[in-house]
Amino acid sequence: MIDRLIKSLSYPGSIVLDFFAGSGTVGRVCIAQGRHCLMCDSDPASKDYFNKHIELMKNLGQDAEYEEIQRVDDITVHKNLQKTTIY
């Protein structure tokens, strides 16, 4: 279902925002479909779970690079956000 939503509501290279990243499903689908994703979650355990997804994707030959941002203000995000970067 997430796969169909991402595919129908965005285009390759666009940025998808996931305020409740949880297990990282939206981020994983975005990487697989060539979208960029900003993921937010207040639970530190979700980062470990998502890192396992990233390792699995790399083992399957998919390119899955990302940058982690602990906490930023809105000015920093607007200055540094590039469509070529996955956050």
The answer to whether position 74 is within a domain reads: yes
Closest CA to 54 of 37, 71, 42: 37
Contacts of 47 (CB under 8 A, 6+ apart): 41, 68
The answer to whether position 13 is within a domain reads: yes
The answer to whether position 86 is within a domain reads: no
Residue 11 belongs to what domain range? 2-80
The answer to whether position 85 is within a domain reads: no
**Number of folded domains that form the chain:** 1
Contacts of 40 (CB under 8 A, 6+ apart): 18, 19, 20, 21
The answer to whether position 87 is within a domain reads: no
Check: CB of residue 12 under 8 Å from CB of residue 61: no
Position 32 scores a pLDDT of 86
- pLDDT tens track of the chain, all 87 residues? 899 999 999 999 999 999 888 878 898 899 889 998 888 887 878 778 878 877 887 887 777 677 777 665 555 555 555 555 555
For the question of whether the overall pTM of this predicted structure is more than 0.95, the answer is: no
The answer to whether position 19 is within a domain reads: yes
SS3 60: coil
